[in-house]
């Protein structure tokens, strides 16, 4: 079988002292952290779209990336060859999972029927390759944003024909995800949002989105797909007002539309930044609502205001992510997907390896640092103690709701003033965190 990365060996763990750029320094898949092997805790996934379909184009310039195996065509042969490339890459990297949109793996045909046939052909090859290599599908999704038919949205389009097309496409994408043993199915809003209320019935569009998700869930049930549905928040791009703005907005949508427990969240670092939040805030918002399903680990650039989809390299950031993720003992059935692309200047195939190795090492380090902090009870003890006034006395009564405003007024009239404030010690805690890095 042809090798597409002939000069690249299987990437191994070589330890922190290694100077080999094609080895892991921190990600040892079998190292145990908080009772789990790192490979099971982190569940890394390669994103098919950026890694095997990315060309390096940007709004100002043409493709730059050198991908000798790709003839640039939309042929089925080219798509099949990409599958072989993908599985050689993922296997050499040692990532246990991958993710795709339907249109990343399989091009569109002349009709929906032809498109579905092409998708089946590719899915067959994907299935063979999964079996051969042991690589699994973390999640599947449908591309409901690239084709011109989705100009007004997909599930939130003003055009019922487009809603129907999107439904047919998602039906097929769920079926293929099921056939390939996918653990999750993702809804990212894509063009679900609007630019201007002069032409938009927001209520009707949101109702349609809820209808769409219920229909997807009903279909999944009918075919026996047990994977987790995930909604991916993102505040901007491509529309000005995306309906899946941030974790809180998505949770509100889920809760108000009877989708609690059916749909969880796929939280992306870059999207958190665009929403004006930290990733830690978004993760914790999802977690406390029992909705932290999976993450897209790509980060943005603090100086650029769009989804730059960079590989995570900031250990401070990955530590913060892992502090939250470890609280719920990992993300399973979700994982850490690199929805990230190499810069257009990094055009060699080997750059794909450097990028993923760096991201995996950054998360492995974050996991180990966070675990040490948790073992020493650095934050937990502090936080628990900070709220101790609610563990007894009047605080306990408030938590139990056994008092109301009248009792609290009497309590304070008797005391005259609230006592007991203590320092929040933010800088003290920030210093301790730096000690662990």
> Would you please indicate which residues are annotated as catalytic (active-site) residues?
101, 104
Of residues 286-305, which lie at the interface with ligand XLS (CB under 6 A)?
296
Q: For residue 192, state whether it binds ligand XLS (rule: CB under 6 A).
A: no
Residues 111-150 that bind ligand XLS (CB under 6 A): 141
State in angstroms the smallest separation of the CB of 371 from ligand XLS.
27
Q: How far is CA 119 from CA 76, 113, 188, 341, in A?
A: 9, 10, 20, 24
Pairwise CA distance, residues 207 & 185, whole Å: 21
Query: Residue 285 CA to chain centroid, in angstroms?
Result: 15
DSSP 8-state class, residue 187:
E
User: Which pairing describes strands 228-232 and 241-242: parallel, antiparallel, or unpaired?
Assistant: unpaired
Kindly state the smallest distance separating residue 173's Cβ from ligand XLS, in Å.
11
Cis peptide before 167 (omega within 30 of 0): no
* Residue 118 interacts with which of ligand XLS, Ni ion, none, CB < 5 to 8 Å by class: none
Query: Which residues of this protein are in contact with Ni ion, per CB under 5 A?
Result: 268, 296, 307, 339
Among 105, 186, 213, 324, which residue interacts with ligand XLS (rule: CB under 6 A)? 186
* Helix, strand, coil abundance in the chain, percent, nearest 5: 50, 15, 40
By CB under 6 A, tell whether 88 contacts ligand XLS: no
Give the Cβ contact number of residue 380 at 10 Å. 13
Nearer to Ni ion, 94 or 190 (CB): 190
Rounded (10°) CA dihedral 113, 119, 125, 127: -110
Site for ligand XLS in 209-228 (CB under 6 A): none
Closest of 230, 243, 251, 237 to residue 295, by C-alpha: 230
**Smallest Cα–Cα separation from 213: which of 194, 246, 190, 187?**
187
Among positions 260-279, residues that touch ligand XLS (CB under 6 A) are: 268
Give whichever of 268 and 284 is closer to Ni ion, judged by the CB atom: 268
| Position 282 contacts ligand XLS (CB under 6 A) | no
Q: Residue 141 binds which entry of Ni ion, ligand XLS, none, with Cβ cut-offs from 5 to 8 Å by kind?
A: ligand XLS
**What is the per-residue binding string for ligand XLS in 4-33, x denoting contact by CB under 6 A?**
------------------------------
- Residue (13 or 311) nearer to ligand XLS, CB: 311
What is the smallest separation between the CB atom of 362 and Ni ion, expressed in angstroms? 18
Kindly report the number of other CB atoms within 10 A of residue 2's CB atom.
9
CB of 39 closer than 8 Å to CB of 26: no
| Interacting residues with ligand XLS (CB under 6 A) | 101, 141, 186, 188, 232, 234, 268, 296, 307, 339
């Amino acid at each position: 079988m042809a090798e597409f990365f002939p000069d690249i060996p299987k990437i191994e763990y070589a330890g922190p002292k290694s100077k080999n750029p094609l080895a892991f320094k921190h990600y040892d898949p079998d190292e145990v952290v908080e009772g789990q092997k790192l490979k099971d805790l982190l569940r890394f996934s390669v994103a098919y779209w950026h890694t095997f379909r990315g060309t390096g184009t940007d709004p100002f310039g043409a493709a730059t990336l050198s991908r000798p195996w790709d003839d640039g065509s939309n042929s089925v042969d080219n798509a099949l060859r990409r599958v072989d490339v993908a599985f050689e890459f993922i296997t050499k990297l040692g990532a246990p999972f991958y993710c795709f949109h339907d249109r990343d793996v399989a091009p569109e045909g002349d009709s929906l029927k032809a498109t579905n046939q092409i998708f089946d052909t590719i899915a067959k090859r994907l299935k063979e390759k999964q079996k051969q290599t042991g690589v699994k599908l973390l999640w599947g999704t449908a591309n409901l944003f690239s084709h011109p038919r989705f100009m007004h949205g997909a599930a939130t389009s003003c055009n019922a024909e487009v809603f129907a097309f999107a439904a047919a496409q998602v039906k097929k994408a769920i079926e293929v995800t099921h056939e390939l043993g996918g653990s999750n199915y993702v809804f990212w809003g894509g063009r679900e949002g609007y630019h201007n209320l002069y032409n938009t019935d927001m209520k009707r569009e949101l109702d349609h989105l809820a209808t769409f998700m219920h229909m997807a869930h009903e279909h999944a049930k009918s075919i026996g797909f047990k994977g987790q549905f995930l909604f991916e928040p993102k505040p901007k791009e491509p529309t000005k007002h995306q309906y899946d703005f941030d974790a809180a907005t998505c949770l509100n949508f889920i809760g108000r539309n009877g989708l609690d427990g059916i749909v969880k969240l796929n939280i992306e670092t870059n999207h958190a930044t665009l929403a004006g939040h930290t990733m830690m805030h978004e993760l914790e918002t999802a977690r406390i609502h029992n909705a932290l399903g999976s993450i897209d680990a790509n980060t943005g650039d603090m100086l650029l205001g769009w989804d730059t989809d960079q590989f995570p390299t900031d250990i401070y950031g990955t530590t913060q992510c892992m502090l939250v993720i470890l609280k719920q003992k990992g993300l399973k059935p979700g994982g850490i997907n690199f929805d990230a692309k190499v810069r257009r200047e990094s055009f060699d195939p080997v750059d794909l390896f450097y990028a993923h190795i760096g991201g995996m090492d950054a998360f492995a380090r974050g996991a180990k640092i966070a675990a040490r902090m948790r073992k020493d009870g650095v934050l937990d003890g502090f936080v628990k103690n900070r709220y101790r006034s609610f563990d007894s006395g009047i605080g306990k009564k408030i938590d139990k709701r056994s008092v109301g405003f009248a009792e609290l007024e009497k309590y304070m009239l008797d005391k005259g003033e609230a006592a007991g404030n203590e320092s929040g010690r933010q800088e003290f805690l920030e210093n301790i965190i730096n000690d662990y890095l």
